[in-house]
């Protein structure tokens, strides 16, 4: 599969993370990646790594083959509308990572361009994203290319577009939920005697180990929990207290609150 030139329109948190992942994975050479932003001062590290930094979206789009749109939901239509003339359906593949804006909406703004929606998370910077992909009119060949690209940046799963908002919550917002869980563990760890660095390492590596048990061994969480909960032991005492305080319930309510925020906005 020959390497294609990639333009990332909107070099903010996610756009920059995608560029970092592309570089780290070796999927793209630095010179084949262009990142656009109006104020480019925050993109110093990418520039130093050889990534092309542009303020002109027209140039970036025309010179690339893959266009990743990483703009905010409130200005994506306006910006794409402005640059609709820069797109060439015979040359370009358009990928939107924008939350809550449908394929139909975007294809309406840029007529003739099939749009693929992708929902990665910020761990894409270190090739550890889960990226959900949905499409309607893209060709098999285009989808194969996009999947190969995101496979280099973590794991990918193809979903129906109607699940894209749910994917945003579980996968993209999920990074923040998981980090807050780890932070709470660090706070607890300090209270029971660890310094912050040691508590952070133990908490983060423990979460990584738990996740790997599910991913690598394909286990169900409760099967693994059963192995830890010694009868009359400290694990079940702690777990039950967490549940009395609404642990699982608070997470489920948080997930549905995030979801409702997307679908009601």
From the CB of 88, what's the least distance to ligand A1CAB, in Å? 29
Closest distance of CB 58 from ligand NAI, Å: 10
CA distance 229 to 91: 57
The answer to whether the beta carbons of residues 55 and 38 sit under 8 Å apart is yes
* Ligand-binding site membership of 225 (annotated): no
Partner from ligand NAI, ligand A1CAB, none binding residue 36, C-beta < 5-8 Å depending on class: ligand NAI
On whether 13 is known to bind a ligand per the annotation, the reply is yes
Q: Which is nearer to ligand A1CAB, 86 or 99 (CB)?
A: 99
Contact residues for ligand NAI, defined by CB under 6 A: 9-15, 36-38, 57, 70-73, 75, 79, 97-99, 119, 121-122, 172
Q: For residues 162 and 100, what is the distance between their CA atoms, to the nearest angstrom?
A: 10
State the Cα angle at 258 between 253 and 260, rounded to 5°. 90
57 carries a ligand binding annotation: yes
Q: Are 66 and 135 in contact (CB under 8 A)?
A: no
We find the least distance from the C-beta atom of residue 121 to ligand NAI, in angstroms, to be 5
Closest distance between ligand NAI and the C-beta of residue 239, in Å? 30
Could you tell me the CA-to-CA distances from 41 to 12, 31, 80 in Å, in that order? Answer: 11, 19, 23
Residue 95 or 173: the one with the smaller Cβ distance to ligand A1CAB is 173
Tokens standing for 62?
């025309």
Residue number of the CB atom closest to ligand A1CAB: 172
Helix (H, G, I), strand (E, B) or coil at 33: strand
Gap between the Cα atoms of 253 and 107, Å rounded: 34
User: Based on CB atoms, which residue is closest to ligand A1CAB, 72 or 220?
Assistant: 72
Which one of ligand A1CAB, ligand NAI, none interacts with residue 197, CB within 5 to 8 A by kind? none
Is the Cβ of residue 32 or residue 54 nearer to ligand NAI in the bound state? Answer: 54
Is the Cβ of residue 82 or residue 241 nearer to ligand NAI in the bound state? Answer: 82
Q: Is 185 one of the annotated binding-site residues?
A: no
Strands (E), the chain: 6-9, 33-36, 52-54, 66-69, 93-96, 115-119, 129-135, 154-158
Q: How far is the CB of 150 from ligand A1CAB (least distance, A)?
A: 16
Closest CB to ligand A1CAB among residues 156, 168: 168
Q: How far is the CB of 258 from ligand A1CAB (least distance, A)?
A: 8
Residue 23 CA, chain-centre distance (Å), reads 16
CB 73 within 8 A of CB 98: yes
Please choose which of ligand NAI, ligand A1CAB, none residue 131 contacts, taking the beta carbon within 5 to 8 angstroms, the exact cut-off set by kind: none
CB burial string 168-180: b at 16+ within 10 A, e below: bbbbbbbbeeeee
Residues belonging to the binding site are: 9-14, 57, 70-73
Residue ranges of the annotated binding site for NADP(+) are 9-14, 70-73
């Amino acid at each position: 599969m020959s390497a294609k030139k990639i333009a990332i329109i909107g070099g903010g948190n996610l756009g920059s993370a995608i560029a970092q992942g592309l570089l780290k994975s070796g999927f793209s050479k630095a010179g084949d990646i262009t990142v656009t932003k109006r104020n480019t001062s925050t993109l110093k590290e990418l520039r130093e790594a050889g990534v092309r930094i542009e303020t002109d979206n027209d140039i970036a789009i025309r010179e690339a083959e893959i266009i990743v749109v990483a703009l905010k939901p409130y200005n994506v239509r306006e910006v794409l509308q402005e640059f609709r003339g820069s797109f060439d359906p015979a040359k370009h593949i358009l990928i939107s990572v924008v939350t809550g804006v449908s394929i139909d909406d975007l294809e309406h703004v840029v007529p003739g361009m099939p749009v693929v929606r992708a929902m990665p998370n910020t761990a894409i910077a270190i090739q550890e994203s889960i990226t959900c992909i949905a499409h309607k009119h893209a060709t098999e060949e285009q989808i194969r290319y996009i999947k190969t690209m995101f496979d280099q940046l973590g794991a990918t799963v193809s979903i129906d577009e109607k699940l894209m908002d749910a994917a945003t919550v579980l996968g993209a917002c999920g990074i923040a939920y998981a980090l807050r869980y780890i932070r709470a563990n660090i706070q607890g760890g300090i209270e029971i005697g660890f310094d912050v660095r040691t508590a952070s390492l133990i908490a983060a590596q423990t979460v990584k180990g738990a996740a790997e048990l599910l991913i690598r061994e394909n286990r169900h969480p409760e099967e693994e929990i059963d192995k830890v909960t010694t009868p009359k032991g400290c694990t079940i005492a702690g777990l039950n207290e967490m549940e009395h305080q609404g642990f699982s319930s608070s997470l489920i309510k948080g997930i549905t609150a995030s979801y409702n925020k997307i679908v009601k906005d």
